[in-house]
A and B are shown apart, each in its own frame.
Chain A
């Protein structure tokens, strides 16, 4: 069982915005600003899209944004495009382990 809770699936129409939540505790998301998000297309390696809650790596579309409130982090994809259809995993630093924890992943479907 993953330490971070994500919805199993989220869907949206082309051009719409969607938000994926990632809920943890005060020992991870709530206590630190070290939340990252990874995008994974089928059969491919994960790709970092957000780090430190709301920073985008170079080359990642500005349609991806991150935020955090309390023990819940969120990834918002605006102007949804077909290529955004993928699995998304959140990750957070945790004081309970020497390694970060991942969420169970959210499947994003573009309608």
Chain B
């Protein structure tokens, strides 16, 4: 059974850097084709892609946020870490991590999400 869980601060100040960790089980990020992605959802708004990392270290980023994002993986800990610099109140959202199976274009299992508020 695949599970993912997001963790990180619930409150960050403007201009600070956000660091979120996705801890997963039930699969390995050393398996060919597997990926873990981050998607966010501002309150009352739509889903928005942030970043995706594949088993082979291939990284994908939202073009509009690429300059602010870093994604890394630690296969020994079964974790994927997302950092977002220069946080702004518009970045207030629920942040989800999710699993990608093989060379497909969908996320088949999602974490429950973690809510991040950006405020001074």
Residues of A within 8 A of B (CB): 2, 34, 36, 38, 44-48, 51-52, 57, 89, 91-93, 97-105
> What's the dominant secondary structure at chain A's contact region?
loop
Query: Shortest beta-carbon distance, B10 to chain A, in Å?
Result: 16
Q: How far is the CA of A98 from the CA of B51 in the complex (A)?
A: 10
Q: Which of A46, A52, A99 counts the most chain B CB atoms within 10 A? A: A99
Contact call A45/B52, Cβ cutoff below 8 A:
no
Contact call A98/B61, Cβ cutoff below 8 A:
yes
Q: How far is the CA of A106 from the CA of B39 in the complex (A)?
A: 18
Contact call A105/B106, Cβ cutoff below 8 A:
no
Contact call B106/A102, Cβ cutoff below 8 A:
no
Q: Which of A45, A47, A101, A104 counts the most chain B CB atoms within 10 A? A: A45
4 more CB-based (< 8 A) A-B contacts, given A46-B39, A92-B105, A102-B49: A34-B104, A44-B112, A52-B104, A97-B63
Q: How far is the CA of A65 from the CA of B107 in the complex (A)?
A: 18
Set of chain B residues within 8 Å of A89, measured between Cβ atoms:
46-47
- A102 touches which one: B48, B51, B63, B113 (CB < 8 A)? B48
Q: Evaluate whether A48 and B106 lie within 8 angstroms (CB atoms) in the complex, with A89-B46, A102-B48 already known.
A: yes
Query: Shortest beta-carbon distance, B45 to chain A, in Å?
Result: 8
Contact call A57/B108, Cβ cutoff below 8 A:
yes
Contact call A99/B49, Cβ cutoff below 8 A:
yes
Query: Shortest beta-carbon distance, A100 to chain B, in Å?
Result: 6
